[in-house]
């Protein structure tokens, strides 16, 4: 007996289409491929669904805005303009406050620095603060003890007149109320005994101070007339450490 399209004697093609051998289950790799394919398909479906929802909502919101009247739009714009103007006003106020605060601090800092500078200058002049700066050093050699109080007082006054800010004689601070006493060979300043050679340190303009001492008929000449000698040396940096004690 024959059959249309095939005979009983024709071989039957029953090979599995997935590549496995007849009578065996699909391999593990093939199963994972099917699982992954299913997951990807589900993910794509979710993404497409989410996009569709977003599109629908966006369309609805656009329709709502389109339905707003011109009066509503004008009102919304006015409100936005008013809010913007208020924010700009607040920003300007903050900036002005910051500028005023910065300027006040700068002025306060400058005033404080100036007050401190003046206080230090007064302290140096009054002899209550040490001083340092350019000036000159005068050393008077008086081996015979012939230098008088008048000669030493003239030296101090000439230095003051030439701009000395601070004067020290043998470690004794000289101020406006200081006095020179004693006798030749036993001179004193403010009651403190001096010993020759007498050393005078003056803080001030070095050249002016030296000129004041060396004028014709001045202090240097007076010292020489007593039989003593003097040496004047300018310096860019001298220190007057002694101070006047209160009380």
Q: Is 190 helix (H, G, I), strand (E, B) or coil?
A: coil
Beta-sheet strand order (sheet of 229-240)? 172-174, 166-169, 198-203, 131-141, 229-240
Reported as a single tens digit per residue, the pLDDT across 129-161 is: 999 999 999 999 999 999 999 999 999 999 999
186 compared with 58, residue with greater pLDDT: 186
What kind of architecture, by CATH, is found in domain 131-240? 2-Layer Sandwich (3.30)
Specify the pLDDT at position 107.
Answer: 67
Specify the pLDDT at position 123.
Answer: 84
| Short-list 189, 187, 172, CA closest to 244 | 172
Distance from C-alpha of 198 to C-alpha of 223, rounded to nearest angstrom:
12
38 compared with 98, residue with greater pLDDT: 98
Reported as a single tens digit per residue, the pLDDT across 171-217 is: 999 998 999 999 999 999 999 999 999 999 999 999 999 999 999 99
| Residue 4 binned pLDDT confidence (cut-offs 50, 70, 90) | very low
The residues spanned by each domain of the chain are 131-240
Specify the pLDDT at position 112.
Answer: 77
Specify the pLDDT at position 52.
Answer: 45
The total of other beta-carbon atoms located within 10 Å of residue 29's CB is: 7
pTM metric for this prediction: 0.56
Reported as a single tens digit per residue, the pLDDT across 107-127 is: 667 777 877 888 888 888 889
219 compared with 64, residue with greater pLDDT: 219
């Amino acid at each position: 007996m024959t059959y249309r399209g095939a005979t009983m004697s024709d071989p039957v093609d029953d090979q599995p289409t997935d590549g496995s051998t007849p009578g065996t289950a699909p391999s593990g790799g093939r199963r994972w491929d099917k699982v992954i394919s299913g997951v990807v398909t589900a993910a794509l479906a979710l993404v497409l669904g989410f996009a569709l929802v977003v599109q629908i909502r966006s369309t609805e919101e656009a329709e709502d805005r389109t339905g707003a009247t011109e009066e509503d739009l004008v009102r919304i714009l006015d409100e936005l303009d008013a809010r913007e103007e208020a924010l700009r006003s607040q920003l300007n106020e903050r900036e002005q406050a910051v500028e005023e605060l910065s300027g006040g601090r700068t002025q306060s800092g400058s005033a404080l620095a100036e007050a401190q500078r003046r206080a230090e200058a007064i302290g140096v002049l009054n002899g209550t603060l040490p001083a340092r700066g350019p000036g000159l050093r005068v050393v008077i050699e008086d081996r015979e003890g012939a230098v008088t109080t008048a000669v030493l007082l003239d030296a101090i006054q000439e230095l003051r007149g030439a701009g000395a800010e601070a004067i020290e004689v043998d470690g004794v601070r000289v101020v406006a109320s200081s006095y020179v006493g004693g006798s030749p060979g036993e001179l004193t300043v403010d009651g403190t005994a001096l010993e020759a050679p007498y050393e005078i340190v003056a803080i001030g303009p070095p050249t002016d101070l030296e000129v004041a001492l060396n004028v014709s008929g001045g202090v240097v000449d007076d010292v020489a007339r007593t039989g003593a000698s003097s040496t004047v040396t300018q310096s860019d940096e001298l220190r007057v450490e002694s101070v006047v004690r209160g009380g």
